[in-house]
Amino acid sequence: MPRIANPYRPGFNQAPASLAGRDAVLAAVREALDVAALDARTPRPLVLAGGRGVGKTVLLGETAAIAADTLSWLTVPVEVRPGRPFTPQLVERLHTARHLYDQAPAGGKLMVSGAKVRATVLGVGGELDIVRREPGPGPAVPLEAALAEACEAAQRRGAGLVVTLDELQLAGRHELADFAATLQQHVGDDWPLVVVLAGLPNIRDSHRGVTYLERSEWHVLGLLDRAASVEALTVPAAAAGRPMSAPAAAALAEASGGYPDAIQVMGHHAWRASHGAARIDVSHVPGAIEAAEQDLAAGLYASRWEDASPREREYLAALAWLLADEEVVGGGAVARRLGKDTRKVSYLRDRLLRKGTVFAQGGGLRFAVPGMAGWIRSHVGR
Ligand SMILES: Nc1ncnc2c1ncn2[C@@H]1O[C@H](COP(=O)(O)OP(=O)(O)O)[C@@H](O)[C@H]1O
Ligand SMILES: [Mg+2]
């Protein structure tokens, strides 16, 4: 039997074969593009807020793909890096976008896909290489000018522009406020500009008072529900020609806890465990979960644990031990186990929720991936 490439995409920034359970966000993206493209207005910016691994970055990528496929619009993607301003890169990329639009033949259209841009005039295409170096805009070009030039170049082609800004929580307050003020100022110009921002849920507090963000359309991304988890597990397998049985998908979905990152890890190992078989069925599940848990322990669980402060670790350990006996464990129970007043430790719960290490669900708290509770119990005594 020929070996088929594994259709699952574990790891950050890896676009899944099936982007499940995000219809509301994708509808909002399409609507924003419609407002810009059809109504010729600048739509409200979208903010995608959620813990690590819920799928923010892949949604930004999907936004770019939709803009390219449906409108042939370019996307300027920027990822904020720790301790570094993002504006220079944004300006540089706006400059590139402007040149790409200007290079498109008059009356022609840009066909955007991957790193290549095809410019077509009445179906006759020429390739423009996106990596072709344009002379840089120079350090002095302010964001406002770069944005205006890019939007105007797009408009000359009957097109528009998408700007995505990822890891927004790393942006400096002042820099973000400047960025926001620039965009805000030009809302009345009706630029065909769609801005999508993504970051951890704490951006709401850390950037409080930035009106631009407050008037944005917020989408808080959480765990996938059971149906979406099953879809994310079964669709890639079926498309790759080795379908997954419903009981197998249910068991893997359960083990993943609906955490998108873990869904891909589970699917990846189920695929590996079923090499040579025509289907993925329940016989492959125990081995797949075991291998996936090992992966998650070495990666996700360990990094979340290392990222936690000593007090947060106490909180996590208390929650993990309570979950050994109880299905639903609330913040009050954790506080009692720690021998503290609930209000005194609620800041720890909030911090862990904001990081996406724990999630609130069904009146209780749970780990992003259920297996993390057992992992903590095997490391920290009762
Ligand atoms: N809706 C989804 N359905 C299935 N898998 C998803 C979904 N969203 C994200 N994933 C997977 O989850 C992982 C993390 O996605 P990523 O976009 O990097 O998360 P974030 O940017 O929020 O940290 C990737 O492996 C990706 O393929
Ligand atoms: Mg990301």
Q: What is the pLDDT along the chain (382 residues), one digit of tens a residue?
A: 667 899 999 999 999 999 999 999 999 999 999 999 999 899 999 999 998 899 999 999 999 999 988 998 999 999 999 999 999 999 999 998 998 888 876 666 666 655 555 554 433 445 555 545 556 666 567 999 999 999 999 999 889 999 999 999 999 989 999 999 999 998 889 999 999 999 998 888 777 777 888 889 999 999 999 999 999 999 999 999 999 999 999 999 999 999 999 999 999 999 999 999 999 999 999 999 999 999 999 999 999 999 999 999 999 999 999 999 999 999 999 999 999 999 999 999 999 998 889 999 888 999 999 999 999 999 988 8
Q: Looking at the domain assignment, is residue 364 inside a domain?
A: yes
Nearest Cα residue to 244 out of 255, 257, 258, 230: 230
The token pair that represents 25 in the structure block: 């966000």
Closest residue CA from atom 13 of ligand 1: 261
Phi, psi dihedral angles at 50 (to 5 degrees): 180, 160
Backbone angles phi, psi at 46, to 5 degrees: -105, 140
* Residue 172 sits in the same domain as residue 45: yes
Best mutation site among 63, 196, 224, 264 for ligand 1, i.e. most ligand atoms within 8 A of its Cβ?
Answer: 264
Q: How far is the CA of 372 from the centre of ligand 2 (A)?
A: 21
For position 208, what pLDDT does the model report? 73
Predicted confidence at residue 123, as pLDDT, reads: 39
Q: What is the number of the ligand 1 atom nearest to the C-alpha of 232?
A: 4
Dihedral over Cα of 288, 7, 10, 23: its sign: negative
Question: Is the domain of 67 the same as that of 103?
Answer: yes
**Phi, psi angle pair for 165, to nearest 5°:** -130, 115
Q: Which atom of ligand 1 is nearest to the CA of 13?
A: 18
Phi, psi of 99 (to 5 degrees): -65, -40
Choose the final residue of a domain: 307, 325, 340: 307
Q: Which residue has the tokens 């989408």?
A: 219
Residue 185 near ligand 1, beta carbon < 6 Å: no
Q: Which ligand 1 atom is nearest residue 15's CA?
A: 27
pTM for this prediction:
0.91
**C-alpha dist (Å) from residue 108 to 113, 118, 128, 156:** 16, 10, 13, 11
Distance 59 CA to ligand 2 centre (A): 9
371 within domain boundaries: yes
- In the DSSP assignment, the letter for residue 364 is E
Instruction: Determine whether 254 is exposed, middle or buried from the number of CB atoms within 10 Å of its CB (0-12, 13-18, 19+).
Output: middle
For residue 133, the 8-state DSSP code is P
134: domain CATH number is 3.40.50.300
Atom of ligand 1 nearest to the CA of 54: 22
Residues 271 and 344 in one domain: no
Q: Quick check: 103 and 69 in contact, CB under 8 A?
A: no
**Domain closes at, from 199, 220, 241:** 220
Query: Which residue's CA is minimally distant from atom 15 of ligand 1?
Result: 55
Please give the residue range of the domain that contains residue 151: 23-220
If asked whether residues 180 and 57 sit together in one domain, one would say yes
Q: Are 129 and 250 members of one domain?
A: no
Give the position, in ligand 1's atom list, of the atom nearest the Cα of 52.
23
Task: Count the domains in the chain.
Answer: 3
Q: What is the pLDDT of residue 213?
A: 85
Ligand nearest to the CA of 166: 2
The answer to whether residues 119 and 242 belong to one domain is no
The number of beta carbons lying within 10 Å of the beta carbon of residue 82 is 7
- Confidence at residue 281, expressed as pLDDT on a 0 to 100 scale: 98
- Please give the pLDDT value at position 118: 56
Residue type at 211 in one-letter notation:
T
Pick from 275, 307, 339: which residue ends a domain? 307
Q: Which two tokens stand for residue 266?
A: 């589970």
Within 8 A by CB and 6+ apart from 124, the residues are none
Q: Ligand 1 centre from 323 Cα, in Å?
A: 26
Does residue 55 line the site of ligand 1, with CB under 6 A?
yes
Q: How far apart are CA 299 and CA 148, in angstroms?
A: 43
Indicate if 228 and 365 belong to the same structural domain. Answer: no
The pLDDT, as a whole number, for residue 122 is 35
